[in-house]
Amino acid sequence: MKRFGWLLLGLPLAIALETPAPGAEAPKAFGTGPAYVDLAKLPVMHEGRKKPLDTLAREEVKQIFGRETIKILGADDKVIATWGPVAVLFNWSVRPEFWDDQPIILVEYIPLKRLLLADSIEARLTAIANQPKTTAGDRTTVKNLAARKDLDADALRSFARQATLSDEDCKAVETLADELGEAHKWLTPRQLESARVKVEGQTLDFNTWFRDLAERKSKNESNMSYDGPKLTDVEKRAIEVGTRLVHYQALRDRTISSVEPMLVMPRPNNPTYLAYCGAAFEKARERQGVEGLSPLELDSANVLLTYYKDIPREDWKDPGKDAEFDANFTAWLKENSVWIPLRVFLETKAEDLAKAGFPAKEAEAFLTTFRAMEQAEESAPGAAPKANAAALLAATRDLGQKVNGGNYPTTKAMDLEAYFNETNPFFTAPYGYGLALAFLAVSLGFSSNRERERAPFWQLGSIVYWSGIVCLLGGIALEILGFSMRVRISGWAPVTNMYETVIWVSLVAAVLAVVFEMIFRKTFAALAGSGVALLGTLLAANVPLLDPGIHSLQPVLRSNYWLTIHVLTEVSSYAAFALAMGLGMIATFYYLTATYRRSPAIMEVGAPLIPGLPLLLLGSFGLAASYGGFGVNLPLDRANLLFNVSAALAGLGGSMSIIGGGGVFGELVARATFRDHTTLDDAAIAGEAVTSAPAATSVQTVTVEERGSVATATKPTVAEIRARAALSRPKLDARGLAMQATAAKIKPLSNFIYRTMQVGVLLIAAGTILGGVWADYSWGRFWGWDPKEVWALITLLVYLIPLHGRFAGWVNTFGLVIASVVCFLSVIMAWYGVNFVLGVGLHSYGFVEGGSQGVVLAVVLGVLSLTGAAAWRRGIASRVLNTTA
């Protein structure tokens, strides 16, 4: 393991800091002052949950821009300003004319960006071609570029370098190239609102195209028999971009029709508001429409209509005319109704709010302080005074508590969630796990030098080891802190979505590793636990698919009892299996770089590279061509076929290349650490490898000399038997000793793998049974062959096979190591595949669109290829060639 530790020591461990170059002006930061710290704690309702404005701002800005902090780029594509999420969310509605021209809508799919900009680019290139100063040759080239459907940034930059255009026109072409380039991932709202796309022979504005695509998607999802054309990749990405634009427009215009508006105030639940709702509903019914209704009247009528839809038709009554109906409606308003949109509140006078049941003084204070905050934001964008924000927060809390004091969020709750958003221990935990992984890996480089004469060296290793354990405990502490805050915020057990399960698996794997480490002190468990926890927390922090937002739960999940005893148990079994896989990968590295009976030729080990590399290159070229690379512009059906075939070739070639390349790597490492390349049989022929064994001594009856007399000895002790067996063993040469040392290192790893598999099987068996009990309680049946249930059972059976095989002696140590990695495929399918690949079943509340199946498949193939490389080299290097004297 020494070489493993020193190899990992070479991995860079650095934190990239975005610091301006010497002499460069630092980007100006907006929205970071104390005013926005107060504004961040303003209570709002969003997606059925009461949360601080800070959470809403982070979620919306991240969806629209792709990051929580918006960066404004200058003419040279350098960051000139940054905007905090709360400030930018507030400023969008205050200064829409400014933000409409800022590139803030994420459009990172180049084919879609090319389609959206095609009209604009053609118009701008045509204008350059029509310039009087443009030469005839340049004019022809520009027109050809404008007509190209596959126009890219490289073609524009090449033309700008070779053309004889004016400086202004060259700069315009360079600007177009930047817009089409990969680094330019954002478009302005105005560009999207004015964009026109050519689809199936007709030209549509982007908004109309987006609405048509969204309707097709809705039909496809809601109607299984819908036989319309499937959405292409460009169309799927267009829906994503359109959704971002709609969210921006809703926040900018404070609209209440397209998406959920910003809800800022609970509804009154007094008789005055009940009567106001009844009058508004009656007014709409008399006029047979909404014309003539004020925003507050329309909102109140819709609230009553929503309540009517929640109750049987025979229970419908007019508010104020039935005591039982009024009591139920009042309770519903207090507990279940959505809050009033901001725009409705701002467009209503204080006296009209008082007529609807709002306290007049507090309502007037809210309107006054909100308008004052808008004025302060307009005069000093992103730098409003703290006094304005503090006054708005105080007025909002006073009004909210007067309206619905019992259910209005407390200051402590809003402070806690805002603090969690700001610190988020889950994003910090990877630093602890990463340092633990590095320190523990390095400590293994010291562990093989424990001779007394090397005492200082060994003591240094001990310091490094305990540093790793402290860092591992630090990562665990950060995750525990994060879960404690998240549970207090949400009120639910911490496994309600895929994001939470990933970080929970990281935590449990790290805790199990510490438990094993404290018992056995072999470093391997802690090293594997650190690696698994680091991988899990990094995925949770960086994969867009894993949404860290805290959302309302589906009704079927609203049971902390079952979430705790079933879901936590089931997901904890994934952690045990992940730890076993981590241990298996460490053992795989040992097998990959071990000294075997012979040292095969490099080309013998690297044979899979011969077909693998050409297949990988061919598949990579095909993938690039399917995306329009190398000037290829295929129809959509042929491009999809080329993509699928090329992906298969690239995957197959990549796997073979990893097997061959891994075998060569392992052989080179083995030769670097063991320089005698003769085989055991070659050495034996030369009379050097093994000495003749002494004749075995009978252990039935032996005579011993004791005090000058001969006596018959009794049955020998176990220690005597082991000592005599050791003397009778053949003496090994250097290669044999190296093999023996490797086996001694792998043995504890195999024991840890076996134990963690046992823990995982126990947990998944208990979790599956408890899940059946919950299913019987919720759905009326214990087992229904739902995909999630089936794959939980498959995972249990898959892991039982190597456990029983090992116990019965059918599976050797190498087989157990390989099984720890291969069996984890069943966990991936149960955990990820059912949700993102199959997407069917009663557990539909866990499904999420997308899934990045291609990326996951590539990673799985890569990991399996490493075990394949270990098996390939082990099989070749363990064979002893026939030799003659």
369 versus 658: which is more confidently predicted? 369
Band the pLDDT of 784: cuts 50, 70, 90.
confident
CB environment 531-543: b (16+ within 10 A), e (fewer)? bbbbbbbbbbbee
Residue position matching structure tokens 């049974």: 769
| Mean pLDDT for the stretch of residues 708-716 | 51
pLDDT digits (tens, 9 = 90+) for 570-620: 999 999 999 999 999 999 998 888 888 778 888 888 888 888 888 888 888
Q: Kind of pairing, strands 79-83 and 28-30?
A: parallel
State both tokens at 725: 């067996």
pLDDT at position 245: 95
> Is residue 70 over pLDDT 90?
yes
* Residue 224 near residue 43, CB atoms below 8 Å: no
| Mean pLDDT for the stretch of residues 653-664 | 84
All residues at 6 or more sequence positions from 149 whose CB lies less than 8 Å from its CB, including other chains: 118, 633
> Is residue 738 over pLDDT 80?
no
Q: What is the 3-state secondary structure (H, E, C) of 398-442?
A: HHHHHHHCCCCCCHHHHHHHHHHHHHCHHHHHHHHHHHHHHHHHH
User: Strand, helix or coil at 390?
Assistant: helix
Choice among 14-28, 245-259, 506-520 with the minimum mean pLDDT: 14-28
* Residue 659 near residue 868, CB atoms below 8 Å: yes
3-state helix vs strand vs coil in the chain, percent to 5: 65, 5, 30
| Biggest alpha carbon–alpha carbon distance for the chain | 126
pLDDT at position 252: 93
| Mean pLDDT for the stretch of residues 777-806 | 87
pLDDT digits (tens, 9 = 90+) for 838-867: 666 555 554 454 556 667 787 888 888 888
pLDDT at position 700: 42
* Residue 208 near residue 193, CB atoms below 8 Å: no
> Is residue 533 over pLDDT 60?
yes
> Is residue 726 over pLDDT 60?
no
Choice among 168-182, 214-228, 404-418, 832-846 with the minimum mean pLDDT: 832-846
* Residue 822 near residue 867, CB atoms below 8 Å: yes
State both tokens at 270: 């007094």
d(CA 350, CA 288): 28
> Is residue 227 over pLDDT 80?
no
Choice among 194-203, 724-733, 874-883 with the minimum mean pLDDT: 724-733
| CA 441, chain centre distance (Å) | 26
> Is residue 150 over pLDDT 80?
no
Kindly report the backbone phi and psi dihedral angles of residue 260, in degrees, each rounded to the nearest multiple of 5, phi listed first. -60, 125
> Is residue 775 over pLDDT 60?
yes
Q: What is the 3-state secondary structure (H, E, C) of 30-41?
A: ECCCHHHHHHCC
Band the pLDDT of 628: cuts 50, 70, 90.
low
pLDDT at position 616: 84
pLDDT at position 851: 52
Strands, sheet with 43-46, edge to edge from the N-terminal-most edge strand:
49-52, 43-46, 263-265, 340-341
Band the pLDDT of 798: cuts 50, 70, 90.
very high
Radius of gyration (Cα) for the chain, nearest Å?
A: 34
d(CA 710, CA 132): 124
Band the pLDDT of 34: cuts 50, 70, 90.
very high
> How far apart, in Å, do the first and last CA atoms of the chain sit?
37
Alpha helices by DSSP H, 491-608: 498-520, 524-542, 560-562, 568-592, 602-605
**AA letter at 258:** S
What percent of the chain is modeled with pLDDT above 70?
A: 83
> Could you tell me the pTM of the whole model?
0.80
State both tokens at 840: 């069917």
> Is residue 413 over pLDDT 90?
yes
d(CA 573, CA 587): 21
pLDDT at position 11: 36
| Mean pLDDT for the stretch of residues 815-822 | 93
| Mean pLDDT for the stretch of residues 324-335 | 92
pLDDT digits (tens, 9 = 90+) for 180-213: 877 788 999 999 999 988 877 788 899 999 999 9
pLDDT digits (tens, 9 = 90+) for 670-696: 777 776 555 554 444 333 333 334 444
858 versus 699: which is more confidently predicted? 858
> Is residue 160 over pLDDT 90?
no
> Is residue 633 over pLDDT 70?
no
Band the pLDDT of 321: cuts 50, 70, 90.
confident
d(CA 841, CA 230): 22
pLDDT at position 327: 93
pLDDT at position 581: 95
User: Residue 706: in which H helix or E strand, if any?
Assistant: strand 703-706
Q: For the chain, what is the mean pLDDT?
A: 82
pLDDT at position 14: 35
What percent of the chain is modeled with pLDDT above 90?
A: 40
Angle at 679 between CA 675 and CA 684, to 5 degrees: 120
CA contacts within 13 A on the Cβ side of 406: 6
User: In the 8-state DSSP scheme, what is residue 410?
Assistant: P
739 versus 871: which is more confidently predicted? 871
d(CA 528, CA 514): 10
| CA 571, chain centre distance (Å) | 16
Band the pLDDT of 557: cuts 50, 70, 90.
low
All residues at 6 or more sequence positions from 191 whose CB lies less than 8 Å from its CB, including other chains: 116, 117, 120
d(CA 828, CA 836): 11
The dihedral of CA 856, 13, 594, 444: what is its sign?
negative
pLDDT at position 721: 67
pLDDT digits (tens, 9 = 90+) for 273-308: 999 999 999 998 888 777 788 999 999 999 999 999
pLDDT at position 668: 82
Angle at 536 between CA 532 and CA 539, to 5 degrees: 140
pLDDT digits (tens, 9 = 90+) for 467-500: 999 999 999 999 999 999 999 998 888 888 888 9
For 622, counting Cβ atoms within 10 Å of its Cβ (0-12 exposed, 13-18 middle, 19+ buried), the class is buried
Kindly report the backbone phi and psi dihedral angles of residue 778, in degrees, each rounded to the nearest multiple of 5, phi listed first. -90, -40
Choice among 14-28, 61-75, 431-445, 646-660 with the minimum mean pLDDT: 14-28
All residues at 6 or more sequence positions from 214 whose CB lies less than 8 Å from its CB, including other chains: 239, 242
Kindly report the backbone phi and psi dihedral angles of residue 71, in degrees, each rounded to the nearest multiple of 5, phi listed first. -115, 125
pLDDT at position 555: 63
